[in-house]
Amino acid sequence: MADALKAEGNKAFSAKDYPTAIDKFTQAIALEPDNHVLYSNRSAVYAAQSEYQKALDDANKATELKPDWAKGWSRKGAALRGQGDLLGALDAYEQALKLEPNNDQFKSSVESVKRAINGEAKADGFPGNLFNDPQLFQKLANNPKTSHLLADHEFMSKLQRLRQNPSSMGDELRDPRFLQVMSVLLGIDMQFGGAPGAGGPSGAAAEAEEDVPMPDASRPKPEEPKKEPEPEPEPEDEETIAKKKAQEAGDAEKKIGNDFYKKRQFDEAIEHYNKAWELNKDVTYLNNIGAAKFEKGDYKGAIEVCEQAVSEGRELKADFKTIAKSFARIGTAYERLGDLTKAIEYYNRSLTEHRTGDVLTKLRAAEKAKIKAERDAYINPEEAEKARELGQKKFQDADYPGAVDAFTEMTKRAPDDPRGYSNRAAALIKLMAFPQAVQDCDEAIKRDPKFIRAYIRKGQALLAMKEYSKALDALTEAQEQDEKGQHTREIEQQQQKIMEAQIAARAGETEQETAERIQKDPEIMSILQDPVMQSILQQARSDPAALQEHMKNAHVRSKIQKLIAAGVIRLGR
C-alpha cells in the first residue's frame, strides 16, 4: 500500500498537484515511518511550494534514517538554499557529492551555491553597498554638509552611475564630494583637504587643489615596511621529546599488530597492541585490542577492554569519536552474546558520543531483533490451545469482546495457526467490526490458503459491508480450494444470500435505471466485454440449458452470478 501511495504522490508531483502529492506521501509515511525515500519525496514537494522549513525537516529525517544516501543530502541542500542559508546548503550539497562523486547534478548544485556565495559577498562589499541605502537621499538632504549636492546635476549623475555599478567606486573616490557623502552615511568626521576649521581652502578651490599633482621633490616618499624578524622555533623540552618518542614507538608496535590482524593472527596482534599501550597511552590501541578479541570470538574480553578504553579515554580527554567506537564495539559484542538489551543500550551510548550511520543501522537491527525474539519467546502451543478454548466459551456465552481478547492471545501464542485469526474474525463480525474481520480472514488465508472457513467468514463480512462482488469472489476462491467439496453446500448457501441481498438492493429499479447502473459498474462492463463471456451469453440465448453446463466452471459461475445479481441476466423469463 505504501508503494502504491508513493506512486500516486509521484504522479501528483509531476502534475504539480502539490497538495495531493503531500497527502499521498504523508499517508505512505504513516504506513512506513522508517522509509527514507518517502520523507525525501515529501521534502521535494514542500520545497516546490517554498515551504522550506518543512522541506528541511523532512530532509533531516531522510538523512537521519539513511545517512549514506546522497539524495537526502541534496534535498537538505535545496531546503537550506531556499531559506537563504548558503553555507549550510553548500555543506549539504558537498556531502551529497562526497557520497556520489560522479553525479553531475550534485556538482552543478555545489558550483551554483558557490557562485551565489561569491555574488553575495561582492554585493555586501564596502563601500559600494553604502550607496544602495534606501534612505540615501533623505540622509544627504538632512545634513548641511551635503544638502547642496542634491542640486548639482553633474554630481547626481555620478551618484546614480555609482549606485548601478558599485565596482566603479575607485574611480570616483578622487572626487572629494563622495568622501563627504561617505562621511555622512557612515556617521563619522572624515578629515580631508579644505575641511572647515582646518585653515585651508574650501568649496571649489579645495576641489581644484585636490586635483593638482604634487611636484616630485615635495611628494613624500613612502616608507619601506619594516620586516619583522622571523621568530626562531623554541627548543623542545625533554618532556615533549619523550612524548614524541613514545608516540613513535607505540605507533610502530601498532603497525606490527595491524599486520598480524590482517593475517587473522589475533593473539600476536593483541601482544603488539598491548606493547603499544605500555609505550604510549593512546586509547586507539585499546580499541584495537578490543577488535582483535572480538574477531577471535572472545566477546567478554572485548567488552572488558573497551570499557577500559572508555574509562581511560575520559581521563585522557580522548576524542568523542574514539569513545563512540568503544561503546559501539561493546554493543556489537553484547549482540553476539545474545544480550540485545545491553547491545541496544551501548549502541545508544555510542550515538550520544558521535552519531554515525553504521551504528544507527546496528541499533535499528538490534531493536527489530529484540522485538522478534520477545515475540518468538512468547510462542507456546499449549497456552495457545487454552486461549482458543477460552475464546470459544466466551463466544458461546455471547461475550464477544472477551472472545476477541482470548483469540488475540492465541494469535500471539501461535502466530502461524490460521484458526486464531479466523475465530477472531467471527467475533469481530458479531461486533460489526467488518473491515477488521476481513483483515483477520486474509491473515488466516495467508497462513493456510486451504482454510475454507476463513473464505466463508470473509464473504460474510463483505456481505455486511454491501461489497457484493468482493463477497462472491471470496466464495469463488473457497470453491477452488475446497477440492473434496466438503463445504459445497455452505458456500452455495452463502452465495445465494449474497445474490438475494444484491437483488433486494435494486428492487423497484426500472430497466432504464438498471442499464444506467450497469454502465457505471466497471466490473460488470468488464465481464460483458470479455469475448469468452460474450460467446457463453450468446449461446445461452438459444440454449438456456447450456448456461447450467458452463456454470460448472467456478470462474464462469462467479461471473454469471454477478451478472444475475446485477440484473443483466434475469431468470424465469
Cell numbers 549636492 label which residue?
149
First to last CA, the chain: 45
pLDDT at 395: 95
Closest CA relative to residue 488, chosen from 458, 466, 456: 456
Residue 123 scores a pLDDT above 70: no
Tell me the torsion sign for CA atoms 55, 57, 62, 68: positive
CA distance 276 to 259: 14
Is the predicted pLDDT of residue 382 greater than 90, yes or no?
A: yes
Mean pLDDT, rounded, for 83-109: 88
Range 73-95 average pLDDT: 89
Which position has the grid cell 505512505?
Answer: 28
Give the CA distances from residue 298 to residues 215, 259, 336, 349, 359, in Å, rounded to whole numbers and listed in that order.
89, 20, 10, 22, 21
* Grid cell digits, residue 263: 593475517
User: Is pLDDT at 405 greater than 60 in this prediction?
Assistant: yes
Q: Report whether 138 contacts 146 (CB < 8 A).
A: no
Comparing 92 with 140, the larger pLDDT belongs to: 92
Q: Greater confidence, 521 or 331?
A: 331
pLDDT of 134 higher than 70 = no
Show the domains of the chain with their CATH numbers: 1-102 (1.25.40.10), 240-377 (1.25.40.10), 381-505 (1.25.40.10), 514-572 (1.10.260.100)
Would you state the pLDDT for residue 483? 85
Q: Among candidates 325, 401, 309, which has minimal Cα distance to 358?
A: 325
pLDDT of residue 266: 93
pLDDT band at 211 (very low <50, low <70, confident <90, very high): very low
Residues contacting 536, CB < 8 A, separation 6+: 546, 547, 550, 556, 560
- Give residue 295's pLDDT: 93
pLDDT at 240: 73
User: Residue 495: its pLDDT value, please?
Assistant: 87
Query: Which residues are within 8 A (CB) of 398 and not within 5 positions of it... i.e. 6 or more apart?
Result: 430
Cβ pair 441, 477 in contact under 8 A = no
- The pLDDT assigned to 167 comes to 58
Task: Band the pLDDT of 232: cuts 50, 70, 90.
Answer: very low
**Long-range contacts, 284-291 (Cβ 8 Å, 24+):** 284/254, 284/322, 285/250, 285/254, 286/312, 286/326, 287/322, 287/325, 287/326, 287/329, 288/254, 288/257, 288/258, 288/261, 290/326, 290/329, 291/261, 291/329
Q: What's the pLDDT at 570?
A: 65
Dist. CA 140–CA 159, nearest whole Å = 12
Cell of 245: 618518542
Arithmetic mean of pLDDT, 50-79: 92
Rounded distance between C-alpha atoms, residue 27 and residue 6, angstroms: 9
Could you give the CA distance from residue 5 to residue 435 in angstroms, rounded to a whole number? 20
Residue 249: all three cell numbers together: 614507538
Rg of the chain over CA atoms, in angstroms? 41
| CA pair distance 167, 106, nearest whole angstrom | 32
Is it the case that residue 260 has pLDDT exceeding 80?
A: yes
Region 137-150: what's the mean pLDDT? 76
* 419-432 tens-digit pLDDT: 999 999 999 999 99
Q: Report the pLDDT averaged over residues 109-124.
A: 71
**pLDDT class of 186 with cuts at 50, 70, 90:** low
User: Residue 303: pLDDT above 50?
Assistant: yes
What's the mean pLDDT in 454-470? 92
pLDDT of res. 207: 34
> What is the pLDDT at residue 87?
79
